[in-house]
C-alpha cells in the first residue's frame, strides 16, 4: 500500500517524461519541423512572411512564458519527498496520513524568502517560507509554514500594510530584499505589535546556514479533531535532524554577491549526493479547556507557545529525496493554501489565519490564470476528484455526462456527498457575539514575549541582534524614526535600547525600561541545537609540493565523518606532491571563497606552504574564515600559513615540539607529526560546533 501510494504521485508527475532523446522537433500541434533557425522569407534578404506558422507559434509562446511572480515568497526552491508517521495519532486526529507508519505520503516542499523578487539573493536577512504539500489519500493538505514561529501583525487586514512597508520604496524601487529603509521602520514604530517579530527577524534565525538546517513553524493555531469530535488546539513544527544553524551577517552579505543561489544550490547538491534532508514533524497540543491558562492569548499570531509550557510531540518524519525535473512546471507553479485541509484538521479563530484563508486562494486565481490551477500536475491530488465545477481557463479534465448540478435525477444525483464519517465536517464550535471592528484585550501585550526571546539568547546571539539593529536602523534616513526605534524597544529591555542607540546615533533612554520578565525559553536559542559534522564542507588549501600521506589521511577521516571537501589552489588542474603523486584541484581563489565552506584545512609540505605564503588570497582565506568563527586546521609546515595570517588569541603548535596537538577557539594545529588521526578527530569536533564564538571580541581586528 505504501509503495503504491508514494509512486502514484511520481507517476502522475512523470507521465510525459519518457526518453525523447531521438524524437524529431515538432510544433505544439505535433507537426514535424525541419528548420528552426531561419524564418520563412520572400527571397534570401526579403521580409519574413507571416504565413510561417512555426515562427509565429515559437515567438508567441516565448512572449507569454512569464506569469506574475508571487507578491511575497517570490524567490523559492522546491523538492519532492515523502512523510511517514511514527505512530497512530487516533487520540487527537482522524487525519489518515497521520495514522499508519507504513504509509509513505508523497510531499512537495517549497522554501522561499518573503520580501525579495525572484531575482534576489538567497542569503538576505528575511523570514523564510517552509510550505509543504501532502498528497494524501483524502486529498491535498498544505502546511504553510515559516522558519519563525510568529508574525509581524495580529490581524490579516494589516497584511497589505506590512508588505507595502517592507517592499522597496515606490518612488525608486530601493532597497531590494531588505528591511533597511525608512518606510518599514516607520511602520514598525507605529505598530508596536511588531516588536516581538522584529527581535526574531534581527536574530540569526533570519540568515539560515541552509534550508536543511532551518526549522519550520505553522505560525497559526489550528485544531486537531478526532473521530469522536473532540478537538485540541495545535501548533505545527518542523525540526531538522541536522540542527538549526545560521550564517553570520558579513558572510551572508558576501554570499549574496559571490553566490546568490547559495541555499538552492546547497539543497540541490545534498539531494543529488544522496544526503536527503530530514525533518521531524512535531505538534504542540492543547486541550480546549486549557485555552486560557497562559498569560498570553494562544490565538495571537505574534506569540509562540514556549516549549517548556507546551512540549513538542514528535509524530513523524519527512525526507526530501528527489529534485525537481523542471523548475517552472513544479516549483513556480505549485500553489499552496492554508485552507487546503483534510478531515481531522480544522481552523481556529486566529485572525491572521482567517485572512490567509481568503488571500492565498485569491492570489492563485490571478497568478495561475484561473480557477483550474488544481489541475496543474504539481497541484493535482492523488485522491480522485469528482464535482460539478466546470470550464474556466486551462481546464484539463474532460468531463462526461449531461449533469453538472446538484441535486439531479438524470445521473442518480452523482457525485453524491460523502457520509459524515469519511467526509469533511467542520468542528461544531459555538460562536456568538456582536459585529465589531476591534481587537481582544488579550492581544494587547506587545512586549513580554519579546523580552522572553531576548532573555533566551546566548551572549553571541544577543550581540548579533544588536549589530543587526545597527545595520538595519542605521540605514534609515529619518533621525526621528531612529529615535522612535530606541523608544519602542526600551519597552522590551532598557539595556537593549541603550545598545541600539549607541550604534545609530540616537539618544539612549533616560529611564531604562523593560517588562519585568526574567524567564527564558532555551528552545528558541540556537546555542542549544543539535551539532553534527555530517554534510559540512571543508576547503583544503594546497599547492604543488604538498605532503601526500598527510593530506590523504585527513581527507579519509573527513569522508568517514560524512564531511565533504574541495581542494583549493591558484590554478585548476593537477598538483604534484613532494613524492610525485597528484591530486586534482576543484576550485581556485577566483571561483570560490571561504564563505562557501564550514571550515578550512592547510596541509603541510615545505614547497606547498612557501607558495601559499606568497599568495595574498590564501592568507585572506584564513583571515576571513577566522573572522566568521569557523573551524581552522593546519598540519606541520601548514601551521606557518596560520602564523603569517592575522589570527589572534590562539596558541599555534610550537615548531620545537613533536606531535603535540594545539586546539583553542576552533583552531587545531599539530607539527612534526606523521599520524594525522588525532588531529583529524579534533578538527571534526571543531567543525561539528558550527561556530566558535569565543573569537567574537577579535573579529574587528581581522582584515577580511
How far apart CA 265 and CA 4 sit, in angstroms, is 31
374 is catalytic: no
Please confirm whether the linkage preceding 407 is cis (ω < 30° from 0). yes
- Which 3 state secondary structure label does DSSP give 225? strand
How far apart CA 377 and CA 568 sit, in angstroms, is 43
- Dihedral of the alpha carbons of 31, 33, 37, 41, in degrees to the nearest 10: -80
How far apart CA 9 and CA 382 sit, in angstroms, is 6
Give which of 595, 557, 588 is closest to 573, Cα–Cα. 588
**How would you write 560-596 as a 3-class SS string?**
HCCCEEEEEECCCEEEECCCCCEEEECEECCCCCHHH
- Provide the grid cell at 477: 534616513
**Catalytic residue among 140, 146, 547, 636, which?**
146
Residue 569: count other Cβ atoms within 10 Å of its Cβ: 26
237 is catalytic: no
Backbone angles phi, psi at 67, to 5 degrees: -110, 160
User: Locate cell 526579403: which residue?
Assistant: 46
Backbone angles phi, psi at 420, to 5 degrees: -60, -25
**Catalytic residue among 73, 181, 337, 692, which?**
73
Q: What is the DSSP string of 129-187?
A: EEEEEEEETTEEEEEEEESSSS-S-SSGGGHHHHHHHHSPBTTTTBSTT---SHHHHHH
The CA-atom distances, in angstroms, between 629 and each of 90, 171, 599 are 47, 40, 9
- Which 3 state secondary structure label does DSSP give 288? helix
Give which of 438, 497, 435 is closest to 465, Cα–Cα. 497
How far apart CA 179 and CA 202 sit, in angstroms, is 10
Burial class (CB in 10 A: 0-12, 13-18, 19+), 455: middle
- Which 3 state secondary structure label does DSSP give 467? helix
| Active-site annotation, residues | 73, 146
Amino acid at each position: 500500500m505504501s509503495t503504491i501510494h508514494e509512486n502514484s504521485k511520481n507517476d502522475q508527475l512523470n507521465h510525459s517524461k519518457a526518453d525523447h532523446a531521438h524524437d524529431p522537433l515538432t510544433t505544439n500541434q505535433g507537426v514535424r519541423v525541419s528548420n528552426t533557425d531561419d524564418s520563412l522569407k520572400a527571397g534570401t534578404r526579403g521580409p519574413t512572411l507571416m504565413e510561417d506558422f512555426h515562427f509565429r507559434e515559437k515567438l508567441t509562446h516565448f512572449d507569454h512564458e512569464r506569469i506574475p511572480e508571487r507578491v511575497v515568497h517570490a524567490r523559492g526552491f522546491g523538492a519532492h519527498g515523502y512523510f511517514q508517521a511514527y505512530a497512530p495519532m487516533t487520540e487527537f486526529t482522524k487525519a489518515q496520513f497521520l495514522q499508519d507508519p507504513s504509509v509513505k505520503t508523497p510531499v512537495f516542499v517549497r522554501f522561499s524568502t518573503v520580501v525579495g523578487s525572484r531575482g534576489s539573493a538567497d542569503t538576505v536577512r528575511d523570514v523564510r517560507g517552509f510550505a509543504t504539500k501532502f498528497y494524501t489519500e483524502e486529498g491535498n493538505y498544505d502546511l504553510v509554514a515559516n522558519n519563525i514561529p510568529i508574525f509581524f501583525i495580529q490581524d490579516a487586514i494589516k497584511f497589505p500594510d506590512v508588505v507595502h512597508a517592507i517592499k522597496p520604496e515606490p518612488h525608486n524601487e530601493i532597497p531590494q530584499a531588505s528591511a533597511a529603509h525608512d518606510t518599514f521602520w516607520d511602520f514598525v514604530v507605529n505598530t508596536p505589535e511588531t516588536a516581538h517579530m522584529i527581535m526574531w527577524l534581527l536574530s540569526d534565525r533570519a540568515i539560515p546556514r541552509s534550508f536543511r538546517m532551518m526549522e519550520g513553524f505553522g505560525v497559526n493555531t489550528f485544531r486537531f479533531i478526532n473521530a469522536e469530535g473532540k478537538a485540541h488546539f495545535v501548533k505545527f513544527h518542523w525540526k531538522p535532524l541536522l540542527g538549526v544553524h545560521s550564517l553570520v551577517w558579513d558572510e551572508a552579505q558576501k554570499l549574496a554577491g559571490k553566490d546568490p543561489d547559495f541555499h538552492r544550490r546547497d539543497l540541490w547538491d545534498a539531494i543529488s549526493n544522496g544526503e536527503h534532508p530530514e525533518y521531524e514533524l512535531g505538534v504542540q497540543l492543547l486541550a480546549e479547556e486549557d485555552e486560557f491558562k497562559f498569560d498570553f492569548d494562544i490565538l495571537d499570531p505574534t506569540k509562540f507557545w514556549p516549549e517548556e509550557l507546551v512540549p513538542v510531540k514528535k509524530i513523524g518524519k519527512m525526507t526530501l529525496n528527489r529534485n525537481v525535473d523542471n523548475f517552472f512546471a513544479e516549483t513556480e507553479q505549485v500553489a499552496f493554501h492554508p485552507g487546503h485541509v483534510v478531515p481531522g484538521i480544522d481552523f481556529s479563530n486566529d485572525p491572521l489565519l482567517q485572512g490567509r484563508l481568503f488571500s492565498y486562494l485569491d492570489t492563485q486565481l490571478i497568478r495561475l490564470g484561473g480557477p483550474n490551477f488544481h489541475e496543474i500536475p504539481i497541484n493535482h491530488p492523488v485522491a480522485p476528484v469528482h464535482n460539478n465545477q466546470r470550464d474556466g481557463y486551462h481546464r484539463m479534465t474532460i468531463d462526461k455526462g449531461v449533469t453538472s448540478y446538484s441535486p439531479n435525477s438524470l445521473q442518480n444525483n452523482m457525485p453524491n456527498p460523502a457520509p459524515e464519517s469519511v467526509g469533511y465536517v467542520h468542528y461544531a464550535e459555538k460562536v456568538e457575539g456582536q459585529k465589531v471592528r476591534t481587537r481582544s484585550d488579550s492581544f494587547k501585550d506587545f512586549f513580554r514575549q519579546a523580552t522572553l526571546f531576548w532573555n533566551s539568547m546566548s551572549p553571541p546571539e544577543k550581540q548579533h541582534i544588536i549589530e543587526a539593529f545597527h545595520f538595519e536602523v542605521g540605514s534609515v534616513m529619518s533621525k526621528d524614526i531612529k529615535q522612535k526605534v530606541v523608544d519602542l524597544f526600551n519597552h522590551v529591555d532598557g539595556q537593549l535600547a541603550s545598545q541600539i542607540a549607541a550604534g545609530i546615533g540616537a539618544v539612549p533612554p533616560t529611564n531604562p525600561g523593560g517588562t519585568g520578565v526574567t524567564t527564558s525559553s532555551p528552545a528558541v536559542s540556537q546555542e542549544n541545537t543539535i551539532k553534527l559534522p555530517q554534510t559540512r564542507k571543508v576547503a583544503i588549501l594546497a599547492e604543488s609540493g604538498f605532503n601526500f600521506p598527510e593530506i590523504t589521511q585527513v581527507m579519509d577521516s573527513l569522508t568517514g565523518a560524512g564531511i565533504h571537501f574541495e581542494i583549493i589552489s591558484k590554478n585548476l588542474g593537477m598538483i604534484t606532491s613532494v613524492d610525485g603523486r597528484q591530486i586534482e584541484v576543484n576550485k581556485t581563489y577566483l571561483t570560490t571563497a571561504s564563505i562557501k565552506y564550514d571550515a578550512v584545512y592547510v596541509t603541510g609540505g615545505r614547497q606547498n606552504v612557501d607558495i601559499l605564503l606568497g599568495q595574498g588570497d590564501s592568507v585572506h582565506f584564513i583571515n576571513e574564515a577566522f573572522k566568521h568563527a569557523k573551524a581552522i586546521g593546519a598540519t606541520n609546515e601548514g601551521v606557518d600559513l596560520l602564523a603569517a595570517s592575522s589570527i589572534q588569541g590562539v596558541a599555534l603548535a610550537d615548531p620545537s615540539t613533536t606531535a603535540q596537538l594545539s586546539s583553542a577557539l576552533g583552531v587545531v594545529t599539530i607539527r612534526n607529526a606523521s599520524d594525522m588521526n588525532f588531529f583529524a578527530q579534533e578538527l571534526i569536533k571543531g567543525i561539528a560546533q558550527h561556530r566558535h564564538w569565543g573569537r567574537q571580541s577579535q573579529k574587528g581586528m581581522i582584515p577580511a
